[in-house]
Structure 1
Amino acid sequence: MEFELREYFRAAFEDKLLVRMPDREDDFLTPATRLLEKKREMTEVEQALNTQKEEFQMKTESLQQRCAELEHKEEKLKDSLFKFDKFLKENDSKRKRALRKAAEERQLAAQKEREAIRLQAENKQLQAFKERLVRRQEKSSIYQNYLQRVLERTEEFQEVQEMIDRFNTLMATQDKLLKRELEHQEKAEKEKARLLHYQEEARSQILELNNQMADLQDEFERARAVVLEWESRWAQIQNTAAENTLRLGRIRMATLNLFQTITKQMHIKSDISIEDTESQLEKVRLHLTHCLVCLQIHHITGTT
Structure 2
Amino acid sequence: MQLQVEVIHQKPLYNYVLDYIKSKNFEVVLSKYHEKSNTIRCGDPHILIEHYKEKLRKIEKQLAKARKNKAQEQTKIMAEYASFEVKETALRKNFFRFNKFIKENGEKRERGAIKMKEEKEAIKKWEEKTNHLKGLLDKLESIKNVIDDAIRKHKIYENFFMKCCGDIFKQPGEIVERYELLLETRHTLLERQNNILMTLENFKTDLMRETEAAKLVILGLNTRIFNLQERYENSRYKSTVNENIIVDIYGVAGEKLEEITETKLTVNEMFMSINKTDEIVR
Q: TM-score, normalised by structure 1?
A: 0.34
Q: Which of the two has higher C-alpha Rg?
A: 2
Higher RCO by CA contacts (8 Å cutoff, separation 6 or greater): 1
Q: TM-score, normalised by structure 2?
A: 0.36
